[in-house]
Amino acid sequence: MALAMTRPWKHPKTGMYWLRKRVPDDLRTQLGKREEKRSLETRDPAEAKQRLAAVLVELDKRWANLRAGPRVLTEREAHEIAVRIHDAHLARYLENPSQHSGHEWDATLGDLLWEARAPSIPGAGSTEADKKAYFFVDATDAKRAAMRAYCESRADEIIASDGLVVDVNSRFTLMRTVAAAMQRASRTLQRYANGSYIGAPVDGAVNAIDVQHSPQQRRVTFKELLEGWAKENKPAEKTIYSWTKVFGQFAKFLGHDEAQRVTADDVVRWKAALIESGLKAKSIRDSRLAPIRAVFGWGVDNRRLTKNVAERITIDVKAKPSERRRGYTDEEAILLLRAARTQKVGFRRWVPWLCAYTGARVSEICQLRAEDVREVEGIWCLAFTAEAGSLKNISSERLVPLHSAILDEGILDFVRKRKAGPLFPDLSPDRFGSRGGNGTKVLGRWVRDLGITDSRISPNHSWRHRLKTAARRHGLATDIVDAIVGHQRRTVADSYGEFPISALQRELEKVPKLNL
């Protein structure tokens, strides 16, 4: 069985998703805990997955820094680290820069914080206290003291969050670069408040960071963001294809493809237009808004954009009773399995039967290889692995025993006639190389042609609904059913221990054979 990977954990009381990840053994003493916990601040499972990925990157970086041990920061490194302070402060007041007014930072004092009081003091700079005494212009000045304290606290926050282990000098260097970042952002906001948004000179000098790196200073296209996101996340080719179409539709709606020009109101207007077109709420949320939110989020994380305008825009998905999906009834299942018996083509003959008694997704069955039908501990199983093709999530990688009903049908005789490679070579791959894509379409039409036209039936997915219903009816263990169909674990307790193939077979055999 595949090892479990970190995934969002849903709090049973609040419904809020959290990151929960075991602290590596070599860092437990240093961190003083066995598990890292952090709220993802969302109840939306799709959004939780996106936020989890970003948090895991931050966490891995922090642990890597802790393992690296003490280090000395160069000024360049410190400035690169402090850029986040600049960007956050700029983004906070970007829409209304006049509201800044020096509340957190007084730009008239910012350049004076680290100015020396005397040309030289013997021994100055050897300790942090010496540095403060030497560099602070006026330690009694309340405003400067507050600004210095701010730089110190933000530097310490960065050191703690990034897991940096630095000496006194490096900490002081970071404090100075925090001040520089705040100073740049404050002067930029002053310029914006006066109506200049084009990177004009500040006090006779061009702010190089604003001009070269600020997302507001150059054109950032949807294509550029999507390509950057795809290069980093390496999604399936089908995802790239479908998301490219979504951004094309969004650009057509807006009349341009410049990401930095998009506002939250633009996204809301697009959502309203999609609703008006009759598109279902779930499709709008998962297939239209989610790609925009994810790619814009990447743009913010990688300093292409200052703000993810789609971050909090979603749509409530409430299915009507008439739209609720249902599983096949016994009568419908018998009709389909009898019809499958008459088929000469391999995938038409066996995919419905395998779906009926495993609850697997049609795409998972269609991409099986002959070697994925294997004997484990004396029990014949299907092995769903990433080597065979794309899987929905980590829980989808699993072993599922073959029900006696399928064995009695002669599935092993069919498998033995196949060489290593695709179990259903007569099913051609789609444009993305997926047999599951074509199989889903072909079998869906076949089901409808047999007279099962109820809109609540999803021709392929209804097999999964049916198995879950049968599991409840015949008292199968819930956690084992989830392991069989590839659903994510419901509780922390479910993640403990393994699922022996004999236990899976014992529970699955409780589902009786249909009387064909």
pLDDT of residue 410: 95
Q: Which residue has the higher pLDDT, 165 or 210?
A: 165
Taking only the tens place, the pLDDT of each residue in 364-419 is: 999 999 999 999 999 999 999 888 887 877 778 899 999 999 999 999 999 999 88
pLDDT band for 2, please (50, 70, 90 cuts): very low
Residue with tokens 């249902």: 326
- Calpha distance 136→106 (Å, rounded): 16
CB 472 within 8 A of CB 480: no
- What the block records as the tokens of 250 is 């969004």
Residue 137 scores a pLDDT above 70:
no
How far, in Å, CA of 129 to CA of 456, rounded? 72
CA distance 424 to 420: 11
Cβ–Cβ under 8 Å, residues 9 and 40 = no
What is the DSSP code (8-state) at residue 307?
-
Q: What value does the mean pLDDT of the chain take?
A: 81
Average pLDDT over residues 169-175: 88
Backbone φ, ψ for residue 15 (5° rounding)? 75, 0
Helix, strand, coil tally for the chain in percent (to 5): 55, 5, 40
DSSP 8-state secondary structure symbol assigned to residue 104: S
Q: Are the C-beta atoms of 356 and 466 separated by less than 8 Å?
A: yes
pLDDT of the residue at 3: 35
Task: Render pLDDT for 315-371 as a digit per residue (tens, 0 to 9).
Answer: 877 656 556 789 999 999 999 999 999 999 999 999 999 999 999 999 899 999 999
Q: Which two tokens stand for residue 118?
A: 């005397």
SS3 track for 316-375: CCCCCHHHCCECCCHHHHHHHHHHHHCCCCHHHHHHHHHHHHHCCCHHHHHCCEHHHEEE
Amino acid at 69: G
| CA dist., res. 239 & res. 396, Å (int) | 18
- pLDDT on residue 467: 94
Query: Using alpha carbons only, how large is the chain's radius of gyration in Å?
Result: 29
Give the residue ranges of DSSP H helices in 360-434: 362-366, 404-409, 411-416
Note the pTM of the prediction, 2 decimals. 0.52
Distance, CA of 432 to CA of 437 (rounded, Å): 8
Q: What is the pLDDT of residues 211-244, one digit of tens each?
A: 334 444 468 899 999 999 998 888 878 889 999 9
Q: Does the structure show a pLDDT above 50 at 116?
A: no
Which residue, 464, 340, 352, 354, is CA-closest to 400? 354
The span from the CA of 428 to the CA of 347, in Å, is: 11
Question: Given the structure tokens 């292409």, which residue do they identify?
Answer: 304
Q: Is the pLDDT of residue 198 over 80?
A: no
Comparing 84 with 68, the larger pLDDT belongs to: 84
d(CA 173, CA 155): 9
DSSP string covering 132-197, please?
HHHH-S-TT-HHHHHHHHHHHHHHHHHHHHHT--B-HHHHHHHHHHHHHHHHHHHHHHHHHHTT--
pLDDT (tens digit per residue) in 461-513: 899 999 999 999 999 999 899 999 888 766 666 667 788 999 999 999 999 99
Question: For position 105, what pLDDT does the model report?
Answer: 82
The reported pLDDT for the residue numbered 103 is 64
Backbone region of residue 202 per phi and psi (left: phi > 0; alpha: psi in -120 to 50; beta: other values):
beta
| Six token digits for residue 391 | 């899987």
Say which residue the tokens 């950057």 belong to. Answer: 228
Q: Give the relative orientation of helices 478-485 and 462-473 as an angle to the nearest 10 degrees.
A: 160
Q: What pLDDT shows up at residue 202? A: 38
- Lookup: tokens for 468: 């879950």
The count of other CB atoms within 10 Å of the CB of residue 399 is: 22
Residue 448 pLDDT = 93
The domains found in the chain, sorted by start residue, are 9-67 (no CATH), 75-216 (no CATH), 222-318 (1.10.150.130), 330-508 (1.10.443.10)
